[in-house]
Amino acid sequence: GMPAAPPQPLAPRRQTRQIKVGNVLVGGGAPVSVQSMATTLTSDVNATLQQIAELATAGCQIVRVAVPSQDDVEALPAIARKSPIPVIADIHFQPKYVFAAIDAGCAAVRVNPGNIRQFDDKVKEIAAAASAAGVPIRIGVNAGSLDKRLLEKYGKATAEALVESALWECSLFEEHGFRDIKISVKHNDPVVMIRAYRLLSQKCDYPLHLGVTEAGPTFQGTVKSSVAFGALLAEGIGDTIRVSLSAPPVEEIKVGNAILESLGMKERGLEIISCPSCGRAQVDVYTLAEQVTAALEGFPAPLRVAVMGCVVNGPGEAREADLGVASGNGKGQIFVKGEVIKTVPESMIVETLVEEALKLSVQMGIE
Ligand code: SF4
């Protein structure tokens, strides 16, 4: 009844310097963290805190909020104080907002110094203020906002262009001795994005924030992010991840956590192992799998529950499962740890599985 031990990692994690985003360590061997961005108006403190609470409940560890106006700046102290997870202020162009975000108690600021260089000595002042407050900076380069100079040099937002841009932005802070930095080099094409992060990981030891920009609606965005993050994380690249979806941010967190669980980089929660069904199936596997998933949603024990369409291969295929069902002739063979313990009518399958799951979790000491 012990949860399966995490598999051996695919590759050693790349050694990065560690930064601290509030109480979350990023880089330097810390577990890969999952983050998202609020979609509320930041100036609406209650709505923003409500969404942050939902994100935190879903397993979000760091949240970013957009700060495009003075009203948003004024909401930051209350949000930073009441949020259960560290808040990163996302700022473009306005150096005074950066100082305000640091004063407000934000755990980090996302800002591209290239955008604020034109304001005389502001980069130096920001480096000093961030340093004094222990606030790290994320430098976020993406295809859409690539420096004009680099667009001309490379013709388009290539991996090389993204990396050169990010390292140049870093150098503007490094000139002032500031290295409390993490970097992202996002692109909407996973191929370019993967190449960019690989290149960047060879050229610096800053922790990396992985993201595919404008990844799209849930299905496409999930596939793009899973493929891109999977390729990089399997090589040990990536210290924190943000899945971007044109969907509510809680969905981003579910996908992000599922990616880490799939790679054995995060302890798995309850897992439904259902067969794809085939001509031998004697039950509607899709519906049964959905019913079992719904009945066990939020179940605390990290059980693997198998839902199999037939008794011929079902239990054998699901040997790795803690419990499960193999259907046949309007009945369900319920098995626990590979042994058939009883056979119940089809209408009782879901409740029997829930009962057995509860028994197992009691045995595991999780209630
Ligand atoms: Fe087909 Fe049975 Fe395997 Fe499901 S468990 S895929 S129904 S053989």
Q: Is the CB of 276 under 6 A from ligand 1?
A: yes
Extract the tokens encoding 185.
């080099």
Q: Is 106 annotated among the ligand-binding residues?
A: no
Q: Is the CB of 314 under 6 A from ligand 1?
A: yes
Other CB atoms within 10 A of residue 155 CB: 9
| Ligand 1 pocket test target in 283, 312, 319 with most atoms within 8 Å of CB | 312
- Answer whether 241's CB lies under 8 Å from 253's CB: no
List CB contacts of 210: < 8 A, sequence separation 6 or more. 184, 197, 228, 229, 232, 233, 237, 238, 240, 241, 242
- Answer whether 315's CB lies under 8 Å from 308's CB: yes
Question: Residue with structure tokens 């991996």?
Answer: 159
pLDDT tens digit sequence for 37-56: 999 999 999 999 999 999 99
pLDDT tens digit sequence for 317-339: 777 799 999 998 899 999 998 88
Instruction: Please report the pLDDT score of residue 119 as a whole number.
Output: 58
Distance of CA 120 to the CA centre of its chain: 37
Say how many Å lie between the CA of residue 179 and the centre of ligand 1.
Answer: 55
For 350, the enclosing helix (H) or strand (E) is helix 349-363
Distance of CA 331 to the CA centre of its chain: 40
If 0-12 CB within 10 Å is exposed, 13-18 middle and 19+ buried, where does residue 2 land? Answer: exposed
- The pairing of strands 137-142 and 108-110 is parallel
User: Which residues of the chain are under the pLDDT cut of 70?
Assistant: 1-7, 116-120, 367
**CA geometry: angle at 323 spanning 319 and 328, to 5°?**
80
| Sign of the C-alpha dihedral computed for residues 194, 178, 112 and 103 taken in this order | positive
Q: Is 310 annotated among the ligand-binding residues?
A: yes
Closest C-alpha residue for ligand 1 atom 6 = 277
Other CB atoms within 10 A of residue 294 CB: 9
Instruction: Please report the pLDDT score of residue 7 as a whole number.
Output: 61
Q: Is the CB of 310 under 6 A from ligand 1?
A: yes
Extract the tokens encoding 27.
């880089």
| Ligand 1 pocket test target in 275, 282, 284, 288 with most atoms within 8 Å of CB | 275
pTM (two decimals): 0.85
Extract the tokens encoding 18.
């560690």
Instruction: Please report the pLDDT score of residue 118 as a whole number.
Output: 64
Q: Is 170 annotated among the ligand-binding residues?
A: no
